[in-house]
Amino acid sequence: MKKSLIFIQLVFFLLLSCNEETTNLQDSNGSIHKETSKRKLVDLSHTYSAETIYWVTAKEFKLDTVFNGQTDKGFYYSANNFSTAEHGGTHIDAPIHFAKKGQSVDEISLEKLIGHAIKVDVSSKALNNSDYLISIDDLTNWETKEKIKIPNGSIVLLQTGFSKYYPNKVKYMGTDERGDAAVKKLHFPGLSPEAAKWLVEERNINAIGIDTPSIDYGQSEYFKSHVILLSQNIPAFENLTNLDQLPSNGFEIIALPMKIKGGSGAPLRIVAILK
pLDDT classification of 39: cutoffs 50, 70, 90: confident
Q: What pLDDT was estimated at residue 33?
A: 46
Span 211-259, pLDDT tens digits: 999 999 999 999 999 999 999 999 999 999 999 999 999 999 999 999 9
CB-based contacts of 110, cutoff 8 Å, min separation 6: 7, 8, 11
44/126 Cα distance (integer angstroms): 19
Q: Which residue has better confidence, 198 or 30?
A: 198
Q: Which residues of 60-78 are buried (b: 16+ CB within 10 A; e: fewer)?
A: bbeeeeeeeeeeeeeeeee
Q: Name the nearest CA neighbour of 234 among 180, 156, 175, 151.
A: 156
User: pLDDT higher for 10 or 64?
Assistant: 64
| All structural domains of the chain with their residue ranges | 17-274
- The phi, psi pair for 111, rounded to 5°, reads -60, -25
Q: Which residue has the higher pLDDT, 38 or 234?
A: 234
Q: 21: part of which helix (H) or strand (E)?
A: strand 20-26
- Percent of the chain exceeding pLDDT 90 equals 85
- DSSP letter, residue 216: S
Share of the chain above pLDDT 70, in %: 87
Report the chain's mean pLDDT, rounded to a whole number: 91
User: Where is pLDDT greater, at 183 or 25?
Assistant: 183
The pLDDT value given to residue 15: 54
Q: pTM, whole model, 2 decimals?
A: 0.87
Architecture of the 17-274 domain: 3-Layer(bba) Sandwich (3.50)
pLDDT at 27: 52
Q: What is the mean pLDDT of residues 172-191?
A: 98
- Non-local (6+) Cβ contacts of 88 within 8 A are 52, 53, 54, 55, 58, 60, 61, 239
Cα 47 to Cα 65: distance, rounded to the nearest angstrom: 18
Q: What is the rounded distance in angstroms from the CA atom of residue 20 to the CA atom of residue 29?
A: 26
Instruction: Report residue 164: phi and psi, to 5°.
Output: -65, -20
Cα dihedral sign for 156, 162, 165, 168? negative
Q: Above 80 in pLDDT, residue 181?
A: yes
- CA end-to-end distance (rounded Å), the chain: 30
